[in-house]
A and B are shown apart, each in its own frame.
Chain A
Amino acid sequence: MKGIARSLMTTLSTFSRKPVTRDYPNVHKPLPERDRAFPLLLWDQDIDEPFCTGCHACERACPVECMTVLMKDNPNHKTVGGTSTRRKIIDKFWIDYARCMRCNICVEVCNFDAIAMNNTWTGHEMSVHDRKDLVIDLQGLLAQSRAGAIKEWVPVLGQTNE
């Protein structure tokens, strides 16, 4: 019976401890900087256009082929009287969040630091009624960064803490 008593005492000791419940939908725990939700595109606030040039690097590297990228000539390029140094720029971009497996490879292969994993709660709470709604277009992908609502973390492969 000693063991049963010990077991009862164990539960009694947890009874007196503070509950560990996180009141999830009401209280969101702070997410770490590196948190990985779904990828989104970043907005170059200085020139007011996306960083993405539509180079297809991420599309090719994606293991699950969830991206579709189309590029166009940049109408804002210097040669045509604009302010941008980007000759090509993203025209259309779709990411199927339903298929994305959040492996971070697209971020690593991007040469322009134009794509990042969403590290805010908006990136996690994506439930929709129809799978179709998880295919996000360019506007949707850029919206959060354009509004400045994200402090992105773009990891560099093999980067150390020096």
Chain B
Amino acid sequence: MTTSLWGMDINVWANAAIRLQIIVLVMTVVVMGLIWAERRILGRFQQRIGPQKTGPFGLLQSVADAVKLVGKEDLRPKNADPWTFELAPFLVFIPIFMGFVVVPFIAGWNISVLELGLLYFVAISSVNIVGWVMAGWGSDNRYAMIGGLRAAAQSISYELPLVLSLVSVAMFAGTMNLDEMVRQQAAVPYIVWQPMAFAIFFIAALAELNRAPFDIPVGESEVVGGPFVEYSGIRWSMFMLAEYAGLFIMAIIGASVFLGGYIWPFGEELGRGWQLMLISAKAGLIIFVVFWIRASLPRLRIDQLMGYSWKVLLPLVLLQVLVNGLILVNGWSEVILGVTGLAGVVALVTITGRAANRPRSILARPAAVKVEAA
């Protein structure tokens, strides 16, 4: 069992190990970059500068933070469950990085091309919920416990629309191989045919990643950081690493599945460097929007969050799967797909707007004391 890496024939496991090693190293740097970017971008959204002292434009701020976090004492509360507490960061951290196995960065460069790549991805990316719950339970902290339970409820609820939105694309593509899916988008990206699936994917991904406005498990103003309220130093930094790595992988998957990955609009002949630029730009755009939303939108409440998933996203995405099936089985034009998808987006926007603007349960009461003219 050999495969080729940089023109050399080597054992397939060694190949995977080497590639994974590279991914982990590169990802650590990318995550640092993302953290820096988020701080700079949030800073600009708030009319301030953001980190600027450490290195040029504050580029080394994340490095400085990492050094500080590594050097920090690793505290464990006295009453914490030692095994659960210590293991939890790994269970959050490892699945995210295992997700990178199938990510099609550029043509011919992923760790492994799996036929069921998409399935593998959605399966592996939901394992980290266990880590969150363990962190919440093991910390012996009530905020952490509430946060952990919120994380579990939220991740499970949003896993369904996320998976189903990917399923509807997979139906259309006729494959679950991510590489294959990207190659099919050389002419038209899937977002044109599946706009609603993309919208739902984006919303559900925000929730999966615990990003605003779905960041209730870590809600600073309510549960003070949620599951990792008791963590410090290196373990805390592993949570952070996992969070931003998750953001990056979600952005890459979104860019590959919906926005045409490294291929659209320039075709396959593009050089590897340009392909990397292209996919980075697409992922970067998604990440920028995520940061933008974080700077602008308040947090939802737990019941609104769950209701939105089960009452709005899930029925719509199921409808999309149905429509897809109908069209594909009957062999109708793809244009119908695009049109129905757009109609779905309109429906999503309308329903969301109406759900938010529901009349208050309190009826307006006339002023109890008569208002005299001033």
| B295-A11 in contact (CB<8A) | yes
Tell me how far the C-beta of A24 lies from the nearest C-beta in chain B, rounded to whole angstroms.
11
| A11-B49 in contact (CB<8A) | no
Instruction: Check B352 for interface membership: any CB of A closer than 8 A.
Output: yes
A23 vs B51: C-alpha distance in the bound complex, in angstroms?
11
CB within 8 Å: A-B pair count: 39
Sorting the interface of chain B by its residue count into under 10, 10 to 19, 20 to 34 or 35 or more gives 10 to 19
Interface SS, B side = helix
Binds A, one of B38-46, B106-114, B163-171, B181-189: B38-46
Q: Which of B353-374 contact A (CB under 8 A)?
A: 353, 356
| A19-B296 in contact (CB<8A) | no
| A21-B292 in contact (CB<8A) | no
Tell me how far the C-beta of A107 lies from the nearest C-beta in chain B, rounded to whole angstroms.
36
| A14-B292 in contact (CB<8A) | no
A15 vs B48: C-alpha distance in the bound complex, in angstroms?
9
A15 vs B46: C-alpha distance in the bound complex, in angstroms?
7
Instruction: Check B293 for interface membership: any CB of A closer than 8 A.
Output: yes
A149 vs B43: C-alpha distance in the bound complex, in angstroms?
37
Binds B, one of A1-9, A29-37, A87-95, A138-146: A1-9
Tell me how far the C-beta of B219 lies from the nearest C-beta in chain A, rounded to whole angstroms.
19
- Given known contacts A7-B296, A8-B296, A11-B292, A17 and B47 CB-to-CB distance under 8 angstroms: yes
Closest to B213 in A: A4
| Residue from the set A2, A8, A11, A17 with the largest chain B CB neighbour count within 10 Å | A11
- Given known contacts A19-B47, A20-B48, A21-B49, A11 and B352 CB-to-CB distance under 8 angstroms: no
Instruction: Check B335 for interface membership: any CB of A closer than 8 A.
Output: no
Tell me how far the C-beta of A35 lies from the nearest C-beta in chain B, rounded to whole angstroms.
24
Instruction: Check B349 for interface membership: any CB of A closer than 8 A.
Output: yes
Q: Mark B324-360, 1 if CB is under 8 A from A, else 0.
A: 0000000000000000000000000100110010000
Which of B48, B49, B293, B352 sits near A8, CB closer than 8 Å? B293
Q: Which of B280-331 contact A (CB under 8 A)?
A: 292-293, 295-297
Interface SS, A side = helix
| A20-B47 in contact (CB<8A) | yes
The interface residues of chain A lying within 8 Å CB-to-CB of B46 are 14
Tell me how far the C-beta of B319 lies from the nearest C-beta in chain A, rounded to whole angstroms.
19
| A15-B296 in contact (CB<8A) | no
| A8-B44 in contact (CB<8A) | no
Tell me how far the C-beta of B77 lies from the nearest C-beta in chain A, rounded to whole angstroms.
31
The interface residues of chain A lying within 8 Å CB-to-CB of B297 are 4, 7-8
Instruction: Check A12 for interface membership: any CB of B closer than 8 A.
Output: yes
The interface residues of chain A lying within 8 Å CB-to-CB of B356 are 3
Closest to A7 in B: B296
Tell me how far the C-beta of B135 lies from the nearest C-beta in chain A, rounded to whole angstroms.
31
Tell me how far the C-beta of A78 lies from the nearest C-beta in chain B, rounded to whole angstroms.
58
The interface residues of chain A lying within 8 Å CB-to-CB of B352 are 1
| A19-B353 in contact (CB<8A) | no
A-B contact pairs, 17 of them (CB 8 A): A1-B352, A7-B297, A8-B292, A8-B293, A10-B296, A11-B292, A12-B45, A14-B44, A14-B45, A14-B47, A15-B44, A15-B45, A19-B48, A19-B49, A20-B47, A21-B49, A23-B49
Residues of A with Cβ closer than 8 Å to B? 1-4, 7-8, 10-12, 14-15, 17-21, 23
Question: Apart from A14-B46, A21-B48, what are 10 other A-B pairs with CB-CB below 8 Å?
Answer: A1-B349, A2-B353, A4-B296, A4-B297, A12-B292, A15-B44, A19-B44, A19-B47, A19-B49, A23-B49
